[in-house]
Structure formats: structure tokens, C-alpha cells
Structure 1
Amino acid sequence: MHGLNWNDVHYCLAVIREGSVTGAAKHLGVNHTTVSRRISALEKRLNAPLFDRSTSGWLVTPLGESILPNLEQMAEAAQAIERGVYADRQELSGTLRITAVDVCIQRILLPGLKDFAEQYPNIDVELLASGESLDLSVHAADIAFRNTNNPPPDVVGTKFADLHYGVYARRDVWAAYQQGDDNVGAVSWMLDGNARPGWLQQSYPSMPVRYRSNSLNVVYDLVQQGHGIAELPCSMGNSHPELVAVPAKGVSEPTGFWLLSHIDLRTTARIRIFRDFMLEYIQPFVARLENRSP
């Protein structure tokens, strides 16, 4: 016996519930011949009659009565699927709050967000450019993109890649330093406080720190414009033809690049859809993030 066609079962239940083929056809908004044809197809698949046809109407056979509970279970399961899909579709609207550091938003997310907005125009996206660990449990944000090797315990997420780092300088700046130019300095994170970063302390202990910044974009611009040497994600440092990787020890270890959401929101439709969308979108760039390709 071949698999049952749910549409055939649907028509069969309509005849039972409405009491006649004519009533079922009216209820379903189809011609009565369509109802008759569907039920005949179901009986053929079952290789057994479900109705006794007579001039006075169609009567359910004992076999039909015996499998009626199973048919009703099929109907309930199908309706549950439809309800779930409808509810899911309804959730594909509203606001999605995303937090990430500014460079992640500008260099990784923005191109993909354009395609996402075209596919899901009813989802409004709020972008919170921040490196702070916003509390996902109180919906300060729905999704967080973070660089970490230890995600918090109350979140779930997906790791896209391991971000690799290197020390970079503009070609002419590096050449000047190699020729003994004492004016060449380093650019450091303000998050390091007054401490000299590991790469600077281990590889260039006499180099002064000329600038500090709390923005990776600003650090990148300072290096690109020739203001100094800095540690950068390899995907940034390799992206400009005038920047070169500088040999250095003490460079930061790779950190995981994660998409995180609170555990209670993991099945929310718009979060699930966005996660799956970005997983697919970012895949072609993983090799660059991990410094496996130029």
C-alpha cells in the first residue's frame, strides 16, 4: 500500500462530518465529483471500502468507523502543523535587536543585513554598536555577536570562526622603522589601560605608544593612515594592499566569533531565521577571518 494522501483523508472526514458528499463539497467549496474522486482514490490506496454507496446516500462501513479515530488524529496533526507555521510566520515581524562592536557591524553584518531585510521586510532591525556585554536575559538585545572563548552559561549560540590576529603597519611606516626612524610608534587599545600590549612588550619594547583608542575602526584607520603600528584582526589587516604583517611575538591568541542569544529565545522564529541566514552568509568569509586566505 502506498502512503496516504492527506488531501484524500481530508475529503473523507468532510463527508463523515457533513453527512453527505453534497454537504462535504459545499463545506470544502469544491464540486461533488471532486469529493467522490478523492474518496475513491483513498479506498484504492487502502484496498478497502470506507463507504457503502446507495441511492439514499453514503454510509460509513465498519472498517471506516474503526479507522475514524486514526483519521481524526491525522487531521489534528495536520492542523497543528498549520497552526505552528502560521504562528511562526506571525513572529517574522517586529523588532530584532542586535548588538556587536562597530567594526563587526560595518565590515561583516551590513552587507548581509541588506539581503536579510529584502527577504524579511516585516522585521525591523536595531543595531547597537557596543562592546559591552549587554544582558540578553532582560532583552537589552536579542542577539549578540561577540569575540569570546567562554560564552556566558545562560546563552546559546553558534561559533562562526576563530578570529586570528596579527601586527600590521603601512609599508612606508614599516620601512621607516626598519631604517631607524624613532618617530614610529604603536597604537594600542584603551582597554589595556596603561599596560603595554604583549606584542609590543615582547617584540618592540623600546617603541613608544603614540595613540590609544577604544574603537577597532579608529585603530585600523590610524594604522592605514600611517600613524603607527597596531595589532589587528587578520581579516582587517589583510584587507588593505598598503598594509603589511609585521613579525611579532606575543600576539593575542585566536578568539571565537559567536552569535549568541538567551536560551529562552532560541526557538523564536525571527531569531532562528536570522541565525540560519547569517550562518549561511558568513561561511564564504570564514577562511579570511581565520587568516587562511587573503
Structure 2
Amino acid sequence: MQWDDLKIVLALSRKGSVRAAARRLALDHSTVSRRLGRIEETLGLSLFERTGEGLKATAAGERLIQAAQQIEDDLADTQRQIRGHDQRLSGPVIVTAPDEIVATLILDELADFRARYPDIELRLSMSYASADLMRRQADIAIRVTDEPPAHLTGKRVAPYVEMYYASRDYIARLAAGDLREGPQWIGWPDASRRSHVFAESPFPNAPVAMSINGLTSYREALARGLGLGVLPCLLGDADSRLARLRGCDPRHVSDVWLLTHESARRRKSVEVVMNMLSAALIRARPLFAGKRKPA
């Protein structure tokens, strides 16, 4: 069995369907299905069961997945050790970060950075998920978390503070008692956190009119006067269409961390990107903390 076969098995286990695995591997779904059949025929075992919720690994499949994951980890570790000796200021550096941090802060730094380091190819991946630095999905991660993974190295660079916002017109109509339906919240799918956050607001009993999963659309819904909501101060204070709810204090909900793997940090190109990101994030501490408006 070849490593390409194991990559098929890993993609199927992680994505849960042939089509999703094919997209992940940049292959046609019929190719993935055919290769899975060939692997199972070679082994004389069924590796996955098809259920209403997608593919589920059999006992034999689980054993093969664990072995494949170990091989993948070993290969990634070898790559990191080799790349750790790279002192060139060139090549790709992959950074994963929340979209609002990249759009609000990091993009402003890139023109100067590219002028200074034209041979470094910066690859930005907008994500809130925990990209696996161990498996080389990223070299550097900006993450909002209370406790970063123990195997990563880095530092806390800023507080992550939220506040209640609405459009300026919505707040004016709310103050004048001119909202026919009364105050309503724009929520998000995590109902447990949502109920806790709204309960601490001036309008704990206001209904949730809609839920939106995605900060860009969420902010736009607030700006268009569709209700009250919660945003990180970094995002809410930067939008002139929005205003804070009066009588509320910003809420420190987590921290912003700049993280990498120790072996990746030894690469000179990763080091200079880390330094650029660190400086930008530290300068923005007052914005993260909701202590001043952007210029």
C-alpha cells in the first residue's frame, strides 16, 4: 500500500463523504470511489460503512486510519526538521487567522513587508478553526483562545473584547420608542453562549430575530438596522455606521495569541513574518480592548 492510498483513507475519514474527500484531494469523486474500492479489495476488508450521516469507519478502517495518521505525523515532523534549517528569506509562509483581524490590521502591513521581503510568498488562510501546525497546514496561527495548544510556542498579544452594537439609526429609534416590534437580537448558532451574552445586556428578554454564522455578514446586518448584536470591538468600533449600546461596558471574553511550532520558528522567513505580525497586533491592543476608536 502506498502513501497516496493512505491519503485517500485519511481524507475520507476527515471529510465523511467521497465528494468532500475528492474536493480536499483535488480529484474526481469517481476516482476516489474507485481507489477506495481497490484498497478494500487489496486488503480484503471493508474500511467504511455508508450511513445516513456519511461514511463511518469500520473497526479495520479505524486501525488503518490510526496507522496513517502516525505516518502523516512522522512525515510532517521530518519536513519541519528539514525546513527548520532554512535560513533563506524566501519561499512560502502560511498564516492562518480570523478574517476580521486580517482585514482590519494585517492587510495594512503587507505593502511595506513585500517591499522589504519580495521573495517571501505570504499565504493567508482565513479561518477560526484550529489549523494543524503539526501537519504543515500553517506555519503561523493567530488565534482567539483562552488556552493555546501546549505543543505550540508563542505569546499572548492582546485582549479580545466584545461590545453590544447596533446601527446609529436603530439606536436612535430604540431611544425614541419608535421600534414597532421592539428591540430584537441578531444571534449566532451557538445558542448556549448566545443566551448567556444577551442575558447580561440591557435587553435580556428581547427575542432573537435571526442568526448569522459569519462576522462579515453579521456586521452588515447590524449596520443595516436589522437588530442589536455583539461584535469584537476591533470590528464594531471600526465601522462608522455602528454605535455602542449606551450604559454597557466592553466584555473581555478571551485573548489573541500569535503561535507557531518551534521548528517552524527556526526558519528565517517565518521569524520575520512573526515579527511583522507581532508588531501589528501589539500596536492594535487599544483597538482590541475597545479603548479607542481607529483613526
Quick check: TM above 0.5?
yes
Q: CA deviation at 1:130?
A: 1.2
Distance 1:206 1:254 in 2: 22
Contact 2:164 2:248 in 1 (8 A): no
Distance 1:219 1:165 in 2: 14
Give the share of equivalent positions with the same residue, in percent.
27
Gap change, CA 1:111 and 1:147, over 3 Å in 2: same
User: Could you tell me which residue of structure 2 aligns to residue 165 of structure 1?
Assistant: 162
Task: Name stretches of at least 5 consecutive residues in structure 1 with no aligned partner.
Answer: 1-86
Q: CA deviation at 1:250?
A: 9.6
Q: In structure 1, the residue corresponding to 2:252 is in which secondary structure?
A: coil
Find 1:120's aligned residue among 85, 105, 117.
Answer: 117
Distance 1:261 1:284 in 2: 20
Gap change, CA 1:240 and 1:251, over 3 Å in 2: closer
Q: In structure 1, the residue corresponding to 2:284 is in which secondary structure?
A: helix
Over the aligned positions, Cα root-mean-square deviation in angstroms equals 2.2
Distance 1:290 1:249 in 2: 14
Gap change, CA 1:227 and 1:221, over 3 Å in 2: same
Contact 2:158 2:281 in 1 (8 A): no
Q: CA deviation at 1:251?
A: 6.7
Find 1:201's aligned residue among 182, 199, 202.
Answer: 199
2:269 pairs with 1:270: yes
Q: Which of the pair has more CA radius of gyration?
A: 1
Q: In structure 2, the residue corresponding to 1:162 is in which secondary structure?
A: strand
Contact 2:93 2:270 in 1 (8 A): yes
Q: CA deviation at 1:282?
A: 3.4
2:273 pairs with 1:281: no
User: Could you tell me which residue of structure 2 aligns to residue 148 of structure 1?
Assistant: 145
> CA offsets per residue over residues 223-249 of structure 1, 9 Å max, x none?
112111111111222223332211477
Distance 1:271 1:278 in 2: 11
Q: CA deviation at 1:134?
A: 1.0
TM-score by length of 2: 0.64
Distance 2:212 2:239 in 1: 20
> CA offsets per residue over residues 92-141 of structure 1, 9 Å max, x none?
11111111122122112111122212211111121111111011101111
Q: In structure 2, the residue corresponding to 1:150 is in which secondary structure?
A: coil
> CA offsets per residue over residues 199-242 of structure 1, 9 Å max, x none?
31233233121222221121111111211111111122222333
Say how many residue pairs are matched.
Answer: 206
> CA offsets per residue over residues 228-286 of structure 1, 9 Å max, x none?
11111112222233322114779753321111111222222111111112222333322
Q: In structure 2, the residue corresponding to 1:232 is in which secondary structure?
A: strand
2:238 pairs with 1:239: yes
Q: CA deviation at 1:152?
A: 0.6
Gap change, CA 1:168 and 1:156, over 3 Å in 2: same
Distance 2:160 2:132 in 1: 23
Instruction: Give matches, 1:185-264, under 5 Å.
Output: 185-190=184-189, 192-193=190-191, 196-203=194-201, 204-247=203-246, 252-264=251-263
Gap change, CA 1:221 and 1:256, over 3 Å in 2: same
TM-score by length of 1: 0.64
Q: In structure 2, the residue corresponding to 1:220 is in which secondary structure?
A: helix
User: Could you tell me which residue of structure 2 aligns to residue 32 of structure 1?
Assistant: none
Contact 1:99 1:129 in 2 (8 A): yes
Task: Name stretches of at least 5 consecutive residues in structure 2 with no aligned partner.
Answer: 1-84
> CA offsets per residue over residues 115-173 of structure 1, 9 Å max, x none?
21221111112111111101110111111111112111000112221121110111221
Greater relative CO (CA pairs within 8 A, separation 6+): 2
> CA offsets per residue over residues 13-65 of structure 1, 9 Å max, x none?
xxxxxxxxxxxxxxxxxxxxxxxxxxxxxxxxxxxxxxxxxxxxxxxxxxxxx
Q: In structure 2, the residue corresponding to 1:169 is in which secondary structure?
A: strand
